[in-house]
């Protein structure tokens, strides 16, 4: 059974690992908690003495179970932090050397993608654009300058496990490396007005050769 869409980025498996780690621990914890609530309710209901019916939380004897709960919670939290930190650093806080640099601009209600022109540099006069269609080369590190023209949007590429808010007045540079060719959806993940649901684009991941051809086509337009 596939719960998530196919992973098509270099770090998608890391994100999925963190998801399943947290989900697994939480599932076990939930089962224990539900058991602890239901077991006495279902079995000892009639026989309980008044003293047994509630915990006042006075004195160490009463409190030790609460402290134990807090301790286990803290250990679980720090364990999650410890396991996710290397991925967080790699995916969110560092920028590997780029092969391509693009701008992703959200606006009500479309996505505008800008690529460097024939000079190979972004933010120059020969830059080219495509609307609702992002072309990316496979197995290349792509830096994405994520921007917004008007309100807050969010770039969401489920197959890459990538999500990043686009904030007006700010430029946020993130990176992705797609590992599979094909077409993948890109949507807006932040309610941004009446046309939000229509803010859909396609990420077309191409081989290096096809990508060059596609860029050449954009240059001719």
Residues that bind Cu ion (CB under 5 A): 153, 188, 192, 199
What gap in Å lies between CA 99 and CA 211, rounded to an integer? Answer: 12
CB 136 within 8 A of CB 159: no
Coil, helix or strand for 219? helix
Smallest gap, in angstroms, from Cβ of residue 143 to Cu ion? 21
Nearer to Cu ion, 3 or 194 (CB): 194
What does DSSP assign to residue 128? E
Residue 215 neighbours by CB under 8 Å, 6+ apart: 115, 128, 135
Nearer to Cu ion, 104 or 192 (CB): 192
Smallest gap, in angstroms, from Cβ of residue 202 to Cu ion? 16
Nearer to Cu ion, 104 or 206 (CB): 104
Smallest gap, in angstroms, from Cβ of residue 125 to Cu ion? 28
Smallest gap, in angstroms, from Cβ of residue 123 to Cu ion? 23
Nearer to Cu ion, 75 or 197 (CB): 197
Smallest gap, in angstroms, from Cβ of residue 172 to Cu ion? 15
What gap in Å lies between CA 137 and CA 198, rounded to an integer? Answer: 25
Q: HSE-up of 174 (CA within 13 Å, CB side)?
A: 22
Nearer to Cu ion, 105 or 136 (CB): 105
Coil, helix or strand for 17? helix
What gap in Å lies between CA 5 and CA 125, rounded to an integer? Answer: 38
């Amino acid at each position: 059974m596939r719960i998530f869409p196919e992973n098509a980025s270099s770090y998608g498996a890391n994100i999925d690992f963190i998801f399943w780690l947290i989900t697994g621990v939480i599932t076990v914890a939930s089962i224990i908690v539900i058991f602890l609530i239901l077991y006495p309710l279902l079995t000892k209901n009639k026989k309980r003495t008044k003293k047994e019916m509630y915990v006042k939380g006075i004195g160490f004897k009463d409190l030790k179970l609460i402290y134990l709960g807090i301790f286990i919670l803290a250990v679980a939290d720090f364990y999650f932090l410890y396991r996710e930190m290397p991925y967080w650093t790699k995916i969110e806080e560092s920028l590997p050397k780029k092969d391509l640099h693009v701008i992703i601009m959200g606006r009500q209600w479309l996505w505008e993608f800008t690529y460097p022109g024939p000079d190979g540099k972004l933010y120059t006069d020969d830059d080219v654009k495509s609307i609702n269609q992002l072309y990316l080369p496979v197995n290349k590190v792509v830096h994405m300058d994520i921007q917004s023209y008007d309100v807050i949007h969010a770039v969401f590429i489920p197959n890459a496990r990538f999500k990043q808010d686009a904030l007006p007045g700010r430029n946020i540079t993130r990176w992705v490396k797609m590992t599979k060719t094909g077409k993948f959806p890109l949507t807006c993940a932040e309610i941004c007005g009446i046309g939000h649901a229509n803010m859909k684009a396609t990420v077309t991941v191409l081989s290096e050769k096809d990508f060059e051809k596609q860029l050449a086509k954009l240059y001719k337009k």
